[in-house]
């Protein structure tokens, strides 16, 4: 598959057209940002880890009945995906209080939630990705009611499948962020990535943070941790 012009460059990935209008190539970078791009750095080989890990998880989601944009991994950093238009909503699912949830509601990090909590935020770095409810998304025309219902159903399935998958690898899935895209025919599919950038994963035994919080909070061993998570996911 020929890589054609670059369509888009995000903070962690580039997207290229191909000679097939229905297919794009995603290329994962080592660039790391936090706090809406205010903190910048590099995590060596993050692109390789995130590409490989995302594809393993996308394949698992397909098995569980959640359609995804994944077609085929082309190399360490590049993957062929279905061309989608990304819904401008970050879909966050939380099992345990952490991060912004802990700050916003005054709950200690690590407090288990009585049930998984789903939230949306508006994918707008310039506004700090503000928290948003269904009515806001509908009022702004970001998605339809049917699309939101589909997204919530898929997000719950992704959570259940990933919780079990990671627990087998000695990792607790604290929370995660996913994004969905729309194919030309309107079908909603899971897209973007699933990686230590977009999940909070804590070691089951030690509660050690095994995700991007090591970069966000300057906890050290960032590269080693990304590599360790990939090794566990592959095992
Ligand atoms: P939060 O507690 O900072 O809102 O993060 C919730 C989850 O979403 C966490 O697993 C990290 C992930 N996340 C992203 O993938 N991108 C982002 O821009 C932010 C803020 C969080």
**pLDDT, averaged across the chain:** 97
Q: Pocket of ligand 1, candidates 166, 194, 198: which has the most ligand atoms within 8 Å of its Cβ, to mutate?
A: 198
Question: Is the domain of 145 the same as that of 77?
Answer: no
Query: Is the per-residue pLDDT at 1 higher than 90?
Result: no
Domain presence at residue 176? yes
Structure confidence by residue, pLDDT tens digits, 203-228: 999 999 999 999 999 999 999 999 99
* Mean pLDDT calculated for residue range 124-151: 97
Domain presence at residue 64? yes
Query: Is the per-residue pLDDT at 106 higher than 90?
Result: yes
Last residue of a domain, one of 82, 102, 132: 82
Question: Is the domain of 16 the same as that of 109?
Answer: no
Question: Is the domain of 57 the same as that of 108?
Answer: no
Query: Is the per-residue pLDDT at 154 higher than 90?
Result: yes
The CATH number that applies at residue 45 is 3.30.200.20
* Mean pLDDT calculated for residue range 138-164: 98
Q: Pocket of ligand 1, candidates 110, 177, 192: which has the most ligand atoms within 8 Å of its Cβ, to mutate?
A: 177
The CATH number that applies at residue 95 is 3.30.470.20
Which residue, by CA, sits nearest to atom 20 of ligand 1? Answer: 35
Q: How far is the CA of 199 from the centre of ligand 1 (A)?
A: 7
Q: Which atom of ligand 1 is nearest to the CA of 197?
A: 15
Does residue 100 have its Cβ closer than 6 Å to ligand 1? yes
Query: Is the per-residue pLDDT at 187 higher than 90?
Result: yes
Domain presence at residue 227? no
Last residue of a domain, one of 82, 101, 116: 82
Domain residues for 11? 3-82
Which residue, by CA, sits nearest to atom 7 of ligand 1? Answer: 176
Domain presence at residue 226? no
Question: Is the domain of 73 the same as that of 92?
Answer: no
Please report, rounded to a whole number, the percentage of residues in the chain having pLDDT higher than 70: 100
* Mean pLDDT calculated for residue range 103-131: 97
Question: Is the domain of 71 the same as that of 92?
Answer: no
Question: Is the domain of 132 the same as that of 181?
Answer: yes
Structure confidence by residue, pLDDT tens digits, 12-24: 999 999 999 999 9
Question: Is the domain of 135 the same as that of 178?
Answer: yes
Question: Is the domain of 47 the same as that of 121?
Answer: no
* Mean pLDDT calculated for residue range 98-107: 98
Structure confidence by residue, pLDDT tens digits, 30-75: 999 999 889 999 999 999 999 999 999 999 999 999 999 999 999 9
Last residue of a domain, one of 82, 112, 145: 82
Question: Is the domain of 183 the same as that of 133?
Answer: yes
Question: Is the domain of 113 the same as that of 70?
Answer: no
Question: Is the domain of 136 the same as that of 158?
Answer: yes
> Can you give the pLDDT at residue 173?
99
Spatial separation of the C-alpha atoms in residues 107 and 46, rounded to whole Å: 31
Domain presence at residue 233? no
Question: Is the domain of 57 the same as that of 132?
Answer: no
Please report, rounded to a whole number, the percentage of residues in the chain having pLDDT higher than 90: 97
Does residue 177 have its Cβ closer than 6 Å to ligand 1? yes
> Can you give the pLDDT at residue 36?
85
* Mean pLDDT calculated for residue range 165-185: 98
> Can you give the pLDDT at residue 2?
85
Domain presence at residue 228? no
Does residue 178 have its Cβ closer than 6 Å to ligand 1? no
Q: What is the number of domains present in the chain?
A: 2
* Mean pLDDT calculated for residue range 145-165: 98
Q: How far is the CA of 164 from the centre of ligand 1 (A)?
A: 20
Does residue 198 have its Cβ closer than 6 Å to ligand 1? yes
């Amino acid at each position: 598959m020929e890589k054609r012009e670059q369509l888009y460059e995000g903070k962690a990935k580039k997207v290229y057209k191909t000679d097939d209008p229905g297919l794009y190539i995603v290329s994962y970078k080592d660039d790391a940002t936090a706090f809406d791009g205010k903190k910048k750095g590099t995590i060596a080989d993050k692109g390789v880890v995130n590409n490989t890990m995302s594809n393993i998880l996308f394949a698992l989601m397909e098995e569980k009945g959640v359609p995804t944009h994944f077609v085929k991994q082309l190399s360490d950093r590049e993957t062929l995906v279905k061309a989608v238009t990304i819904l401008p909503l970050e879909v966050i699912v939380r099992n345990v209080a952490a991060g912004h949830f802990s700050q916003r509601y005054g709950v200690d990090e690590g407090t288990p939630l009585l049930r998984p909590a789903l939230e949306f935020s508006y994918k707008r770095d310039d506004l700090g990705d503000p928290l948003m409810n269904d009515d806001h998304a509908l009022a702004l025309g970001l998605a339809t009611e049917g699309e939101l219902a589909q997204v919530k159903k898929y997000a719950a399935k992704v959570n259940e499948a990933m919780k079990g998958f990671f627990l087998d690898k000695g990792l607790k899935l604290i929370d995660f962020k996913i994004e969905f895209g729309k194919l030309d025919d309107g079908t909603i599919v899971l897209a973007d990535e699933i990686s230590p950038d977009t999940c909070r994963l804590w070691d089951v035994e030690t509660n050690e943070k095994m995700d991007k919080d090591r970069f966000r909070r300057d906890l050290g061993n960032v590269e080693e941790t990304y590599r360790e998570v990939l090794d566990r996911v592959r095992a």
